[in-house]
Structure 1
Amino acid sequence: MTLAAFAAIYFVHLAAAISPGPAVLLAARTSLLEGFARGTWLAVGIGLGACIWAVAAFFGLAVLFKIAPALLTALKFAGAAYLLYLAWKMWRHAPEPMDMTLPEGRAPRSALGLVWLGIATQLANPKPAVFFGTIFLTFVPPVAPLWVYLVILGIIFFNDAGWNVIVARIFSLERTRRGYLNLKTVIDRIFGGLLAALGLKLALT
């Protein structure tokens, strides 16, 4: 594989990683509530979850979609419904003040718990499955040495985890925290609108 091919994979996946979605929003919210270090652990899990979807694509996700195209259609509509549900929930609760305290008797999540939460968030979100099972595979050679696939997985982890670490850092800053709390209704509804647009786009394309 050429350097240009790796660069194409990098930029195509980076565009997918930075697009608003449940993982990015969860990283932002976790950092607001629990700080940068805990948001970073969540970002590691998000990166690992993306790698799991990529490995699934390497081992036949596209073939499965080709054999059973109805499965891809169902997955797309399920993903659209999921994103629209999140958008509705965010829009509905936007005016409510954000509770910055943990419920009584609940201990903070461990670092490993946050990693698993990041993985689960990625695996529960159909958007990465659609991306890795369709667009992503058009940039990946069907046959390549093992090191090529390892480099691609490194790119995926770096993009997803790295972007969400940046999100975590931004939302853990006190100035950002104050600004968010002052404009919570507006910001949550903007994010909700973006999620709704993504859901509609996914359903209609």
Structure 2
Amino acid sequence: MSEYAFLLPISLFLLLGVMSPGPSFILVVQTAMAKSRSAALAVALGLGVGATCFALLASAGLFSLLAAVPTVYLALKVAGGLYLCFLAVQIWRSASAPVALDDSHVQRPGGLANMFLLGLVTQLSNPKTAIVFGSAFAAFLPAQLPDNALVVISGTTFVIDAAWYVAVALLLSTQRPQRFYRRFKHYICKGASTLMGGMGLKLIMDP
């Protein structure tokens, strides 16, 4: 198992990264408190799959393309920033909507699939994450990878990312956080919208 020792620093790096508040965290919190546990869990799994996609891209060295071709990176960055701004507008508009904490919306055809896709697209909306993954892998991956390393790396990435957001979803979809949400919904939505929009604008304007 010593041949997989490189997973320890990579796992620690990924865990610290996923625990840092960002658009994905805001989305899970908002979904868990505003919708339902099943919706938040679907979003969490989508985020995990999105992180796994970045791990695969970084392992394949495709992150170098984003670093080497500025126009491709710029286009993806602007598109991702605009998507986050779109989510911010949606959250802001929901501030005055009545609260319906149930699973009726996810029990409709495609309901959970839509929440999964929301998480996946939100995770993939930030191409900077690909650079971060690529930097971590460049720093910690050995020159000669053991057999099945790509599968192990991808699985580890999914478990770390999805497990964190599943834990957040389970914690914040309980009755106490949801009662708090119902009481302060207007302010929570506008605060989450402001943070999400700020992150989207920062993604667009940052060099």
TM-score above 0.5: yes
| 1:113 CA displacement | 6.3
> 1:131 maps to what in 2?
129
Counterpart Cα distance in 1 of 2:182 and 2:120: 27
Question: SS in structure 2 opposite 1:94?
Answer: helix
Q: Which residue in 1 is equivalent to 2:198?
A: 197
Q: Is the 8 A contact 1:31 1:169 kept in 2?
A: no
Secondary structure of the 2:145 match is: coil
Q: 1:9 to 1:202 in 2, by over 3 A?
A: farther
Change (3 A) 1:47 1:102: closer
For residue 39 of structure 1, report the CA deviation from its aligned partner: 3.7
Q: Given that residues 27 and 42 in structure 1 are in contact (C-alpha distance below 8 angstroms), is that contact kept between their aligned partners in structure 2?
A: no
What percentage of aligned pairs have identical amino acids? Answer: 27
**RMSD between aligned alpha carbons?**
3.2
With over 3 angstroms needed to count, the CA separation of the structure-2 counterparts of 1:62 and 1:118, relative to structure 1, is same
TM-score, scaled relative to structure 2: 0.76
Structure 1 equivalent of residue 188 of structure 2: 187
Relative to structure 1, the CA distance from residue 196 to residue 86 in structure 2 (aligned partners, 3 Å threshold; closer, same or farther) is same
Cα distance change, pair 48–31 in 1 and its aligned pair in 2 (3 A):
farther
Aligned 1:74-113 pairs, distance under 5 A: 74-100=75-101, 108-109=107-108
1:150 is matched with 151
1:170 corresponds in structure 2 to 171
Partner secondary structure for residue 96 of structure 2: coil
1:96 and 1:38 map into 2 onto residues whose CA distance is 18
Residue ranges of structure 1 left out of the alignment (5+ in a row): none
Quote the Cα distance in structure 1 between the aligned partners of 2:118 and 2:98: 27
The alignment status of 1:48 with 2:46, answered yes or no, reads no
Aligned residues: 199
Normalized against structure 1, the TM-score is what?
Answer: 0.77
CA distance in structure 2 between the partners assigned to 1:160 and 1:17 by the alignment: 6
- Residue pair 2:73, 2:127 contacting (<8 A) in 1 also: no
